[in-house]
Structure 1
Amino acid sequence: MSKERDYYFEQYQDRKMKKWAGFYLSEHTAMIEKEKKRQPTKKKTQMSWIEIDAVLAQAFQNQVEVMIQKEELDCEGNYGADIVGMIQGHDELGIYVDGHKIGYDEIRHVQFR
């Protein structure tokens, strides 16, 4: 090694994590802040199939928006955001709400918006 190179490494002080702090993109930091602020969706009461069917039938006939909580938990044990919209159709397995197919057995709670 040359003397100049030896001198450089003798004088160099690593800044550790400080040197990596500038590599976060604004999209990453915005996403991290959004996740910190996100409140988990509250668990709504489990409705019976008779109650669910009555609300869905009335909403479909009167073209009223519904809010549906699915019986589905994320990896942290929280319920996802409600699916909100008009019932566009149905079949023997489920309903269609704003492009989402929701099986009848997936519905935990439904209410008018």
Structure 2
Amino acid sequence: MSRLHQIDDDALVQRFFDHDYRDRGVIKWQGYYLSDHTAALKKQAKQEAIKYPAKVQQSLEDMSEILSEAFGNGKTVSIQLNNRNANGEFSADIVGKVIGYEDDAVYLAGQDPISLTDMRHIEKLN
């Protein structure tokens, strides 16, 4: 008799999930997001929405002259690289004080060496 009762309970449970239960999907998990996580996601979305327009491609001679002057006067520069992301967009400029250069590499304070051939545009900053 207990076995028959078990079959009826299984059928009842199956009927509940087949006909009565409505899964709320993703909605049920939204309460688990922490406010810090939500804020971080909003900040990331804002940063991804920023577009950096292409600046004029400068000649190697012009860029070398600007870098030499910035190095000699201890100035900070803003460099746009030729690199683009998967959407064909430029990334933010690299900003730093020129602390040295050699042949094809430029050294900015706090940055890895940058190849002159990877650069698109350089501006001196005040």
Category of TM-score, reference length = shorter chain: 0.7 to 0.9
Distance 2:84 2:40 in 1: 21
Segments ≥4 residues shifted beyond 6 Å: none
Q: Which runs of 5+ in 1 are unaligned?
A: none
Normalization by structure 1: what TM-score?
A: 0.83
Normalization by structure 2: what TM-score?
A: 0.75
Aligned length: 113
Distance 1:58 1:91 in 2: 14
Say which structure is richer in helix.
2
RMSD between aligned residues: 2.3
1:66 is matched with 77
Q: Which runs of 5+ in 2 are unaligned?
A: 1-5
Match for residue 100 of structure 1 among 109, 112, 117: 112
Q: Which moved more, 1:21-30 or 1:102-111?
A: 21-30
3-state DSSP of counterpart to 2:113: strand
Q: Does 1:56 align with 2:67?
A: yes
Q: Per-residue deviation at 1:105?
A: 0.3
Q: Does 1:19 align with 2:28?
A: yes
Percent of paired sites with the same residue = 31
Q: Which has the greater radius of gyration?
A: 2
Match for residue 89 of structure 1 among 97, 100, 106: 100
